[in-house]
Structure 1
Amino acid sequence: MTKLDLTLKQKLNLTTNLITSIEIIALNSIELYSFLEKESEDNVFIDYDAFFEDKMFRDYIRQNNKRYEDYSFNNSENEDIEIQDSVKYEPTLKDVLFEQLGTLPLSELELSIGMAIIHNIDDDGYFRIDIKEISDVVNADDILILSVLKKIQSFEPLGVGARNLKECLLLQIDQTDELLFNIINYHLDDIYKNNLDKIAVSQNIELDTLKEYVKKIKTLNPKPSRGYKTDNNYDTLYIYPDIFVDVVGDSLTVRLKDSISNVHINEHYLNMLDSDIDNNTRTYLKQKLSRTMFLIESIEKRRRTIQKVADKIVEVQKEFFLNNSPLKPMGLKDISQLAQISESTVSRATKNKYIQTPKGIYELKYFFSSHISTSNEDVSKDSVCKHIKDIISKENPQKPLSDQKITDILNAMGIDIKRRTVSKYREELNIPITKSRKKY
């Protein structure tokens, strides 16, 4: 009797492709150039013509090409993914985590989940995205994803993969120390506010004992990535805009640099597939062709995504470009809703990207500004900073205004802001404290 069984199997190469596609969106022009040069060296089907004329730029790319090798994944399900070290390239935090991941006895699905999690650990060492985003990529349930996350949270450095500061600190302590656990778990905000009396009463301990515990907590590392290289702390020698904004009258046009995606399929090797060749060669060529088609599709997706995000950013901040008005309050969520894509995709599409405008070159994330409430409508941080500069510029130099007085003036204008926020913004503007501004 013939029996038919249906078996569902998670393929690692599919997940790897999805991860690669996500990473391609995050690459800027320089990074994509290096990535494609490396791919064209490894893949006979890829004909890549770059139209960069700046010799210094090209030399810089070639000298630093090793940095981008880890973006290149093998498309064959029969070959292992290898994370390589090099004396020319100092391993990043993610490299260290991938190496530890490879030592665990994991199933293919668990390994896929682990790779996706590590790819989404930020430059502070935190895992801040929603679990659902991982499940969308690897098609796994939340319980399994959390199980793999717990394994990664046991890696070095201690605290890595935490979802918030509290979890980060708890991952670094001896869990059997119940008092230390309780102080961190229930009173982290009280420590910040120096409410030690409240903590001592709550935990029924002497104040001197509590102070010793607070000292221990202050020795913990709130930033697990400290001491490790991350994607963002390599020095960038050149700023090369990905996006260009042109002003024509009262209209704005947004365009992307097109030459970076000038990838073509090599006709010679394509024709070979129709000729009489051995099976091994045919299998090899089919794998490389599949990889090439995937990359072309991913690069086009990157172009569409960045174009969509840039269009919405420029649309929201139109008055900034046309009339030099303060930035409007705008966050990742606002652009996510306007462009109808996820916040994490908006974040990747704006990562390390620069936009050239008639007013100068700006990092794309410059245009994201926090919301500050007013009696009428929300204003941006940029707008508040301009108000602070304007208020201080008009103060009596013999009697300069205190931060509290500036706060009172802003509150009277209908801007709901605290004194400590005013102090923070003033410092960011490199404006001295009241005493230092006084002129006798």
Structure 2
Amino acid sequence: MGMNLSQVQALKLKLTPAVYQAISLLQYNTQDLTKLIHEQAEINPFLSIHDWSGSSSMYGVGSHGMNNSTSTTDVIEQTIANGSGFREELRSQIQVMSLSPEVQKTCFLIIDSLNDNGYFEEDMLTLSHALRVPIKQLENALSIVRTLDPPGIGAKSLKDCLSLQLKRQTNHSTFAMDIVTHYIDCFITGEWVRAKEALDMSDEELHDALQDIRALNPTPIVSGLETRDAKRYIIPDIYITKEGHELKINDEMGQIPNVSIDSNYVDELKGHTDPETNHYLKEKLKEAEWLLMGITKRKQTLIKLTELCVNYQRAFFESGKWESIQPLTMKKIAEQLEVHESTISRAVSNKYIQAPFGIVSYRSLFSKGLSSSDGEVSVFYIKSLIQKIITNEDKSKPLSDRKIVEALNDKGITLSRRVVSKYRTECGYLAASKRKIVKKKQD
């Protein structure tokens, strides 16, 4: 058989280092970005960090649009029980694996796409278009991420999460995987007789299987990586102050090191004649430029995003009352900024705003809308109504969830009893039977 030489034209999507840098930095909060800048400055001779004591940029959101002024604010820290450094630990696990640079970068993108519980909820096709990475490449990276610790990382659903954990175990009940795969709904319905008969289990075998399943973790991050960093501090990425009738947005760049390219090293680059040294310095200069571009892009995106959120949630930022939150989706903001929805999701991840009344997470500004006789209302508004209904009830005859449904119906809001029960629980109220206060009889 002879050999033929032929040309093949193919279209390939490739993520450039600059684009990858910008996407990655968008995910970083102030703490993580500060740490990254210091780390890069230690290994890149072109990066120079300066003391930053200047005033921060201020963006006013008044009744007639935006204006600029300057001001400074103090660093506000708030201790929280749940950290956000699990992505960094996952990246460190990837770095010690024998992977090509391209595969490693794609794994980092998958890690950045995980939600705060370690689940992967992105649509692959949508993510592929947004990142310009082939679906097969993303799927391969996801399969690698799913092998990391703690078990369950990268799961697409609760069933998937529990299955991943069981696959790592060698001593679990032989029926545990069958129950998770085919009868996980029984944990909600309680129809264990159906599962028992279908799998031909004895009472003891069912008991052992359920014991193994209940020992699994539906949110591996909570008891896995996050517990290693039990105390974290929130440093807000954006500060909002109220001056008269105007809300001012402060990007607080004073909290992020002022980094620039050292001109002395740039001049030195021009004087080198050794090809190997020249190549090294040129690569480092490119990396420094990409980092600065990524920081600038992150700042611009965060400011534009905040301006829109403040405009939509003005009543909330002025009053500090959660019931003032208006229905708002990331898709709506993405359309106005002409970016993909996943970009907004990355931009708000693990980031906080210092509002005039306290610290607020970006994600809490987004709330789905529910229909009412007066139009769409947010979940926060409905919860506030439930709180008022329960607060004003007769404590000796507390209202059942069905009665709360009827009370909401009178206000033009139609919800199922199950949804009301869910919101009541999230508000911290027990069921009616456990809220009842029996009055003592007087002699």
What TM-score do the two structures reach when normalised by structure 2?
Answer: 0.75
CA distance in 2, matches of 1:93, 1:257: 24
Q: Hey, what does 1:159 align to over in structure 2?
A: 152
1:183 paired residue among 179, 183, 187: 179
Post-superposition offset of 1:319: 2.3
SS of residue paired to 2:271? coil
CA separation of 1:326 and 1:439: change in aligned 2, threshold 3 A: farther
Aligned pair 1:273/2:269, yes or no? yes
| SS of match in other structure, 1:273 | helix
Query: Match of 1:46?
Result: 47
1:285 maps to what in 2? 281
Query: 8 Å contact 2:27–2:112 — kept in the other structure?
Result: no
**Which residue of structure 2 lines up, in the alignment, with residue 357 of structure 1?**
355
**C-alpha distance in 2 between matches for 1:17 and 1:370:** 34
Q: 2:252 aligns with which of 248, 252, 257?
A: 257
Cα shift at 1:364: 2.1
Shift of 1:213: 3.7
Query: Is the 2:118–2:153 Cα contact (8 Å) retained in structure 1?
Result: yes
Gap change, CA 1:336 and 1:223, over 3 Å in 2: same
Q: Which residue of 1 aligns with 2:303?
A: 307
Q: Find the partner of 1:115 among 100, 108, 121.
A: 108
Go from structure 1 to structure 2 and tell me whether the alpha carbon gap of 1:183 and 1:432 turns closer, same or farther (over 3 Å shift): closer
Structure 1: state its 5+ residue gaps.
Answer: 61-66, 69-90
Deviation (angstroms), 1:151 = 4.1
Pick aligned residue for 1:218 from 203, 214, 220: 214
Q: Which moved more, 1:174-183 or 1:303-312?
A: 174-183
Indicate the SS of the match to 2:117: coil
Match of 2:379 among 373, 378, 381: 381
Q: Give the partner amino acid of 1:273.
A: L
Distance 2:129 2:346 in 1: 17
Q: Distance in 1 between matches of 2:130 and 2:338?
A: 18
- C-alpha RMSD of the superposition: 4.1
The 1:112/1:428 distance shift into structure 2, 3 A limit, reads closer
Please tell me the residue identity of whatever aligns with 1:339.
L
Q: How many residues align?
A: 405
How far 1:303 moved relative to its partner?
Answer: 0.8
CA distance in 2, matches of 1:6, 1:261: 48
After the TM superposition, which of the residue ranges 200-209 and 260-269 deviates more from structure 2? 200-209
Q: Match for 1:257: what amino acid?
A: E
Alpha-carbon distance change, 37 to 165 in structure 1, aligned in 2, over 3 angstroms: same
Counterpart of 1:95 (choices 85, 89, 99) is 89
Cα deviation code 1:319-347 (max 9, x no counterpart): 22345562112233333333332333222
2:323 matches 1:319: no
For 2:159, the aligned partner's letter is K
- Paired residue for 1:31? 32
Return the offset for 1:363. 2.2
In the other structure, the counterpart of 2:231 is 235
Whose strand proportion is higher, 1 or 2?
A: 2
- Whole-Å separation in 2 of the counterparts to 1:50 and 1:10: 44
Shift of 1:436: 4.2
Share of identical aligned residues, percent?
27
CA-to-partner distance for each residue in 1:21-45, whole Å, 9 max, x for gaps?
A: 3232122233323332333333332
Deviations along 1:274-300, whole A, 9 cap, x unmatched?
Answer: 335544443333222212211111011
User: Is 2:87–2:111's contact at 8 Å kept on the other side of the alignment?
Assistant: no
Secondary structure, in 3 states, of the residue corresponding to 2:289?
helix
The unaligned stretches of length 5 or more in structure 2 are: 55-71, 78-82
The aligned amino acid for 2:28 is: L
Q: Residues 23 and 428 from structure 1, CA distance in 2 versus in 1: closer, same or farther, beyond 3 angstroms?
A: same
TM-score, normalised via structure 1 length: 0.75
Which AA in structure 1 matches 2:235?
Answer: I
1:326–1:383 Cα contact (<8 Å) kept: yes
Partner SS, residue 225 of structure 1: helix
Bigger RCO of structures 1 and 2 (CA < 8 A, at least 6 apart): 2
Query: What is the distance in 2 between the residues matched to 1:433 and 1:262?
Result: 54
- The alpha-carbon distance between structure 1 residues 217 and 134, as it changes in their structure 2 partners (threshold 3 A), is same
C-alpha distance in 2 between matches for 1:150 and 1:109: 15
Q: Identify which of 402, 406, 411 aligns with 1:404.
A: 402
**1:300/1:20 Cα in 2 relative to 1: closer, same or farther (>3 Å)?**
same
For residue 422 of structure 1, what is the amino acid of its counterpart? V
